[in-house]
Amino acid sequence: DSPDVVATTDGAVRTIRIDRPRAGNALTLATKDLLLGELQRAAADPAVRAVVLTGTGRAFCAGQDLREHAALLAAGDPRVSSTVRDFYNAAILTITGMRKPVVAVVNGVTAGAGLGFACACDLRVAGRSATFTAAFAGVALAADSGVSFLLPRLVGSGRASRMLLLGERWDADQALAAGLVDAVVDDADLADEGRRLATRLAEGPTEAFAWIKASLHHAASTDLASALSFEEAAQGALFRGEDHRDAVAAFLAKQRPTYRGR
């Protein structure tokens, strides 16, 4: 049996691909173990400076595997509920806490927890055939994988309510118009566009990106004074960094900066 998650490295870009196309890349316990492991490895590896999250085939990720879920429910298996804490919460916090950018390359349908994964990434580029649905209420659930927090911040609370309560399924253009994705490209161009974006990020000032990401997440749930203090700490740390000094020197010398990521 081939593994359900495939990780490949190209230079400083790590691509993590969910690989269960026969089930819409839905997540079983085994898939979740592999996915969390790959996310944690990418986060911990200093040679990785940008990460792509994507899926194989016509789906990005259809969320929880409902066949396995039904079997676990029927058996009274405690992992039905512990998986929210042990996997979904842990994976979302690993993506948002990773000190490097993560790009969701949304190659097809994304539903439930899959939507949460896309929302947790720093940038989202979708193929023209991608679709987006919260799906939770369809199986009489609320929201998990950060969707209640992350989705309204991207699309506004009214649209998030429509998605969650009415089960709306958006196409790529609707997602773009709502701010759920940043770009839509032809399906045939998606992999190249994802690679181009991730390579550009991987060649950037990784430490500055880490602080930008942390600042945005911090600011999402704090007040102005606290955001200002966080920004001060970020700039204070970056003033001491090699990339900042080299980039300022390059600017003054009218040269292109080369970022080492430190």
Q: Which residues bind ligand T3D (CB under 6 A)?
A: 23-24, 26, 62-67, 69, 80-81, 83-84, 109, 111-113, 133, 135-136, 138-139, 141, 144
Neighbouring C-alpha atoms within 13 Å toward the C-beta of 14: 23
Q: Write out the DSSP string of 8-36.
A: EEETTEEEEEE--GGGTT-B-HHHHHHHH
Which lies closer to ligand T3D via its Cβ, residue 83 or residue 206? 83
Which lies closer to ligand T3D via its Cβ, residue 170 or residue 211? 170
For the CB of residue 69, give the shortest distance to ligand T3D in the complex, in Å: 5
The answer to whether the beta carbons of residues 48 and 42 sit under 8 Å apart is: yes
Which lies closer to ligand T3D via its Cβ, residue 138 or residue 236? 138
The answer to whether the beta carbons of residues 87 and 32 sit under 8 Å apart is: yes
For the CB of residue 29, give the shortest distance to ligand T3D in the complex, in Å: 9
Backbone angles phi, psi at 83, to 5 degrees: -65, -25
Which lies closer to ligand T3D via its Cβ, residue 24 or residue 261? 24
For the CB of residue 137, give the shortest distance to ligand T3D in the complex, in Å: 9
For the CB of residue 88, give the shortest distance to ligand T3D in the complex, in Å: 6
For the CB of residue 233, give the shortest distance to ligand T3D in the complex, in Å: 35
- Categorise residue 170: left if φ over 0, alpha if ψ from -120 to 50, beta otherwise: beta
C-alpha 189/C-alpha 149 separation (Å) is 31
Which lies closer to ligand T3D via its Cβ, residue 27 or residue 48? 27
